[in-house]
Amino acid sequence: MIHRIRKIAIFFTIVIFQTHTFAKEISLMNYNLYNMFDSEHDEGKKDYEFLPLELKESRYQAETEDFCKSSGPKSDCASKDWTTDVYAAHIKTIADVIRQYEGNGPDILVMQEVENAQVLKDLIKELSAQNYKYFALIENTDARGIDVGVISKLPIKKSALHNPGPEYQGVKRGILQVDFQVGKSVITILGNHWPSPRSANTENARINASKHFRSLANSLTSDLVIGTGDFNTTDQENTSKPKDGHFKESRISETKDQNAIHILYDEFQDVKPYVESQGMKTFPGTYYFKNKWTVLDRFLIRKKDLAKKSNPVKPNYGSFLIFHPDFLFDLSLPPSNVTTQGSRSRTRVDYPVRFEWKTKKGYSDHLPITMKINIDN
């Protein structure tokens, strides 16, 4: 009888253990890596600026001269010596940033300005202690050859590149879709890199990129859809920003008084302004543009997923962070997650120090953004 009771007790213990739902947490980072090119030429791509000088002056001399003509007299496009050592140094400095986030890097990392899949493999190798095993990058039609890529500690269920159709005039880069199966839930990350504001008359192109993103995101059946990336849309593009900083929801139209991000606010939640509206203080921006901080990099969450009370997949708003440790602003400091914000030194600047090929030091001109996703299923 005692033996039978013990067997029943063991059985119930196993059942309770197997049916109990354990909350899980997944961390997500987006980071524009700033010209993360290897030192080899990719056929069909205009990557001539980022080649060793030896190749620029021999095999690709004519192509380099033609490409660098438009760079301006102050550019080092033609003289830049992008050797394997320079490339390896750039990989290392970016890896230093990634691993400093919570000491082991995020679970999922979305990146812009990545040349090819080999760059992701080299980055994963540099981050071997962080246990990244999976990656996704599908070559798009960008002339220079810069793509959106993902590395992950979690298995990737599906990846696909959604190139813009002819109706999205001016949009040259596709959206990278990466799906993750977490328990019974599917989380979709949409990696974006919209047209740059540095080029003239690109506002309409970003509006079209916004339409492309909306159409794709709303076509998906996932439990949670998060758009992230470098959206290249500054608040200064909006000509009628209300004094309280809040924008009225508006459906897609030919309006000229809202920018490519604001017209998404009826169906997508922009995490940074949302958490600020709830009283949370955040760093002022992700990119230092025309002597002021602006937000180019964002998390946009599909609102209909948030409306499902029973949805086991939810954003952890309190975890949102523009990652800005001191060493990104001061090359005299070793990599660490120390953030004092108010510290000053002779070598500190007011913006992140971008990678410089001559010194093999520096990081990116963007700051990473991070947040966590809670899963309870």
Label each residue of 46-103 as H, E or C: CCHHHCCHHHHCCCCHHHHHHHHHHHCCCCCCCCCCCCHHHHHHHHHHHHHHHHHHHH
> Residue 270: is its pLDDT beyond 70?
yes
Let me know if domain 27-39+83-375 sits in CATH 3.60.10.10. Answer: yes
CB neighbours (10 Å) of residue 351? 16
Is the pLDDT at 287 greater than 50? The verdict is: yes
Distance of CA 262 to the CA centre of its chain: 19
Output the pLDDT for position 111. Answer: 98
Q: What is the pLDDT of residue 249?
A: 36
Predicted pLDDT at 236? 73
Q: Specify the pLDDT at position 235.
A: 75
Q: Between the CA of residue 72 and those of 34, 69, 143, what are the distances in Å?
A: 19, 7, 19
Cα–Cα nearest to 279, from 317, 249, 237, 242: 317
For the segment 314-318, the average pLDDT, to the nearest whole number, is 97
C-alpha 267/C-alpha 217 separation (Å) is 10
Q: Which residue has the tokens 């979709």?
A: 188
Among 209, 317, 196, CA closest to 263 = 209
Q: What's the confidence (pLDDT) of residue 246? A: 41
* Integer CA distances (angstroms), 357 to 109, 114, 139, in order: 24, 17, 25
Spans of all domains in the chain = 27-39+83-375
At which residue do the structure tokens 């899949």 appear?
Answer: 117
Q: Cα–Cα distances in Å, from 62 out to 55, 115, 303?
A: 11, 22, 51
Lowest mean pLDDT of 63-77, 118-132, 206-220, 231-245, name the range. 231-245
* Listed residue (268, 270, 250, 252) closest to 317, CA to CA: 270
pTM for this entry: 0.89
Average pLDDT of 331-348? 76
pLDDT-wise least confident of 34-38, 106-110, 144-148, 339-343: 339-343
Whether the predicted pLDDT of 253 surpasses 60: no
Instruction: Identify which has the larger pLDDT, 376 or 343.
Output: 376
Helix (H, G, I), strand (E, B) or coil at 334: coil
Mean pLDDT rounded to a whole number for the chain? 88
